[in-house]
Structure 1
Amino acid sequence: MGTYTWAIIIGVIAGLMVRIRLLRTDYRQYPTYLHGQIIHLSLGFIAAGLGAIAVPALLTKDYTAITFLVLAAQQFRDVRNMERETLSKLDEMELVQRGASYIEGIALVFEGRNYLVILSAFLVSLTVVLAHWYGGIAVGVVAIVAAGYLRSGKYLEHIADVSLAPLRMEGANLYVDNIYLMNIGLQDNRDRIMEQGVGVVATPKNRNCALTLANIGQRQAILFDVSSVLGVFRDTGEPSLVPLSKLDLDDGRLGILVLPQNRDPERVIQVIKKVPVLESAVRMPTERPEKHFKIR
């Protein structure tokens, strides 16, 4: 077989391995096993093929073949829309919902990972052509290892200190530490919340983290993840038995009430610390130069 053939074969294999490395079904049960994974692996194979074939097409000056990359970009944008619509429909059936920000983040990740597969296959294919097959395999191994580091971003423990806090009732008002949460009218609901509920306070590490923590989407992601891992002590038609979070407007702390089916405060802390920081929630106003704030 010729050099170009080896470049395509090794590039496709490396790209597919990168996609497998990036594919993981976790506590959110997404992508679903087995059919959801087959869909994403098939798209990964297509992306790897496009990236690997691009190099021989360019070197043989077959520039019309590059137009397939443009079509692929459109198809992967459609994948993002498909993921968004699917998760939005599923979210309607959840007792504690993910929220639009979490769904958009998941959809964005699945689109971006296909582009990463194209890039990996392209680099491996190019290396095979320029530096022989063993060079391409080396680049492929590096890409697979790097994909493992790119699979996860920051967690909540990176932007906030998470600790347990006492729940208390003052009349019908519920507090976690000194942060007001809500008014509970029925005595039965008060008793169940005090018996089953766990109070948590997340203290932001700086001003940027405080704004990220205040984001509604980020707060909903915290409640959803805890409910996914530990269950939720509620059913439909019980608006008082719902996990929620409230800000302390004075110092930016976030008070959190969770109602796990299996009440284990230490596990609640562990889960909250591992909640991913949503890209759409990140705010860094202190990084902007002062000249950008001048009034014209």
Structure 2
Amino acid sequence: MARLGSNQYGKAETHLVRVVRDGAAHELRDLLVSVALSGELEAVHLDGDNSAVLATDTQKNTVYAFAKEHGVGTPEQFGALLARHFLGGAITRARVEVREVGWTRLSDHAFAQGSREERIAVVVADESQWFASGLSGLVVLKTTDSEFHGFPRDRYTTLAETRDRVLATEVSARWRHDGTASFEDARRALLECFAAHHSLSLQQTLYAMGSAVLEACPAVQEIRLSMPNKHHFVVDLTPFGLSNENEVFHADDRPYGLIEGAVVRDGAPDAGPLWDPYPLV
């Protein structure tokens, strides 16, 4: 015998570009919106009965129409508006993820996109409403104030200990909150902590950065971070009669160390449906 397990369906990565033409200076917003709906959907899976299924094409059209009728606002606001709209009937839970890439203004109506960084908002609506905000593609590097030593050594260990190294990573983070946390404050806390923190390991830096967000944003209950170690190895220049005092590096993109973890506020409420079954970030 078999039974239907957890399931959801929706329209993924609807690419929405919204131009606001109020005045001479235009505003440009560039979003990827993904919708996932779940609820009383046994009939469509077991019997092919589509009477409870809102077509994914309708979901896509709703995203575009809402952008015109209501504007976009913040990613959290737009996601919440859509999630509440899709609830009802057989649908008992709606999850909306909004990813936004930024454009730099060149003139009143010209823009350039030069960064891989994305702003991310996730809203889950059921009998309650759950928010997570975050970012990905935030590449940071510091040329000193980073060490790594005291780790176990065995016959396979070749990595040298160091008291001064380049530390670089590409931060992906999600922080769950009550809908009032400032994205700008959280991002600023991540950057300021990375810059000021004297790192003994990337794990220690991850914890410090997460703690800084909790301190800066009282509405945040938990932050989850994924931080690959973008290795920079000192190049041996002795064959050429040259010294290399941490000046010339080989940047190695793979394989790489991947450091992940969560920092949780004491007494924080349960995450509800935000994390499970989704990955760390």
Shorter-chain TM-score: what band?
under 0.3
- Which structure's residues are more often strand, by fraction? 2
TM-score normalised to the size of structure 2? 0.23
Higher helix share: 1
Structure with greater Cα Rg: 1
User: What TM-score comes out, normalization by structure 1 length?
Assistant: 0.22
